Amino acid sequence: MLYDAYEMQRSMLAGASALANFGAGLLQNPANPFAYLGGGAIMGSALEVFAHAAAPRGKPAFGLTKTEIDGREVAVHEEIVLRKPFGQLKRFRREGVEGSPKLLIIAPMSGHYATLLRGTVQRMLPTCEVYITDWRDAKLVPLSDGRFDFDDYVDYIIDFLTEIGPNKNGGGAHALAVCQPSVPSYVAAAVMSAEKHPCTPRTLTLMGGPVDTREAPTAVNLLATDRPHAWFEQNAIATVPMTYPGAGRRVYPGFLQLAGFMSMNLGNHMISHWEMFKHLVQGDGESADSTKRFYDEYRAVCDMTAEFYLQTVELVFQRHALPKGEMLHHGKRVDPGAITDIGILAIEGERDDISGLGQTRAALTLATNLPDEKKRYYMAEKVGHYGIFNGSKWRNKIAPVVEDWIKANG
């Protein structure tokens, strides 16, 4: 009933958004004499803010068509190099550029699309041949395609690294995991190292990831530990309605994840919309559009399979399986000690309210057989969770650290 109720609300809001958008356009049209009456600009701006907030959203596009390398503009083409039921491997091919380090960016499967990392991809394009895990919305995957759990996530990462193949100087591609995939990426690295896989990543950069959530627990961590596993199964899982290809699949809906993130910083989101409204009233469309672009991406959400979500809650946040040495992959214990030659870079934000300080750094401690010169830690001052991988601090301070690490280990 939860998903059905949401779909009904979404349909009603979509109609209200269309009407509000029409009214805003009418009140802001310079050919309309009523637009010049007192309050016209205010009413039109208010309707525009509501129309934007209530509009339904689908999967955004990356829209990265060019980059700049050594002062010259280079065309960029998106290519799908491997398709699997729950995700695809996407490559950003730079026209006429060869020989750069291969970098797999492992996007979170946490309610948002991989396009949330558009800024991450864009910044790394000048120096790397960039690939990304483009996860699929679980409600669009038919039941006939089977399950997708934590082990499958690890298997997908291994399959993607294998498909990318080795770098020109040998060894696998470099890997960069943002937030949630830090744990399965670390597991994949340990499994590949133990198996002497030829495409084991040369470096693994973990950014704001919950490797050990016992360190500086945040509100997100406390939510998972304060409630039993059964609570999440009863309250966070819904069934996909008959209107979608994945009808009947049990999922953790993206709209629930979005509601959780919004409620954590509700005051900031309200201020952002108030500022958007003021910009529109003042005729500052450029500033208003900047806020709109952020929320177009932020509100575009997708579902994840119930089995993957519930296993992540249990293994990562409740049992702390990886740091306690209890993590299994297809029934076999995962040994971080098998990692002996992967350059691991742990990056944390000083003001991260999702993954507290020390949670990502724990990855360095777990790799007991990795030489110190293969480990590095970087704490980004005055940076929150989103700022680790997007924005000016990412572009100007954090990305150069990643690039130097790739170069030093490439």
Q: Write down the CATH number for the domain with range 66-408.
A: 3.40.50.1820
Q: Between these two residues, 395 and 9, which has the higher pLDDT value?
A: 395
> What percent of the chain lies above the pLDDT cut of 90?
63
* Interatomic CA distance for residues 371 and 120, integer angstroms: 28
Helices of type H across 299-398: 306-312, 362-366, 392-393
Selection from 1, 129, 150 nearest residue 76 by Cα? 129
Please compute the mean of the pLDDT values over residues 111-129 and round it to a whole number.
93
Is the predicted pLDDT of residue 295 greater than 90, yes or no?
no
**Mean residue pLDDT across the chain:** 87
pLDDT tens-digit series, residues 46-72: 766 666 566 666 788 999 999 999 999
pLDDT tens-digit series, residues 389-402: 999 999 999 999 99
Q: What pLDDT does 137 receive?
A: 93
* Interatomic CA distance for residues 124 and 105, integer angstroms: 10
Please compute the mean of the pLDDT values over residues 77-94 and round it to a whole number.
97
Structure tokens at 206: 């973990």
Q: What pLDDT does 65 receive?
A: 96
**How many C-beta neighbours within 10 Å does residue 99 have?**
8
Band (pLDDT 50/70/90 cuts) for residue 262 is: low
* Interatomic CA distance for residues 140 and 121, integer angstroms: 25
Q: What pLDDT does 344 receive?
A: 98
How far the first Cα of the chain sits from its last, in Å, is 52
Band (pLDDT 50/70/90 cuts) for residue 260 is: low
Q: What pLDDT does 19 receive?
A: 73
User: Which residues, including other chains, have CB under 8 Å from residue 312's CB and lie 6 or more apart?
Assistant: 150, 180, 183
Is the predicted pLDDT of residue 269 greater than 60, yes or no?
no
pLDDT tens-digit series, residues 206-250: 999 999 999 998 988 888 888 998 999 998 899 999 889 999 999
CA atoms within 13 A on the CB side of 174: 27
DSSP per residue over 116-162, as a string? Answer: GGHHHHHHHTTTSEEEEEEEPPGGGS-GGG----HHHHHHHHHHHHH
Please compute the mean of the pLDDT values over residues 19-41 and round it to a whole number.
66
Q: What pLDDT does 286 receive?
A: 74
Helix axes 150-164, 182-194, angle to 10 degrees: 60
Is the predicted pLDDT of residue 163 greater than 90, yes or no?
yes
> What percent of the chain lies above the pLDDT cut of 70?
79
Band (pLDDT 50/70/90 cuts) for residue 126 is: very high
Q: What pLDDT does 166 receive?
A: 83
Q: What pLDDT does 172 receive?
A: 85
Please compute the mean of the pLDDT values over residues 193-214 and round it to a whole number.
96
Please compute the mean of the pLDDT values over residues 2-12 and round it to a whole number.
70
Please compute the mean of the pLDDT values over residues 126-149 and round it to a whole number.
96
Is the predicted pLDDT of residue 276 greater than 80, yes or no?
no
Q: Tell me, rounded to whole angstroms, the distance of Cα 312 from its chain centroid.
A: 15
pLDDT tens-digit series, residues 325-374: 999 999 999 999 999 999 999 999 999 988 999 999 999 999 999 999 99
* Interatomic CA distance for residues 174 and 103, integer angstroms: 5
Is the predicted pLDDT of residue 199 greater than 90, yes or no?
yes
For residue 37, the surrounding DSSP H or E stretch is: none
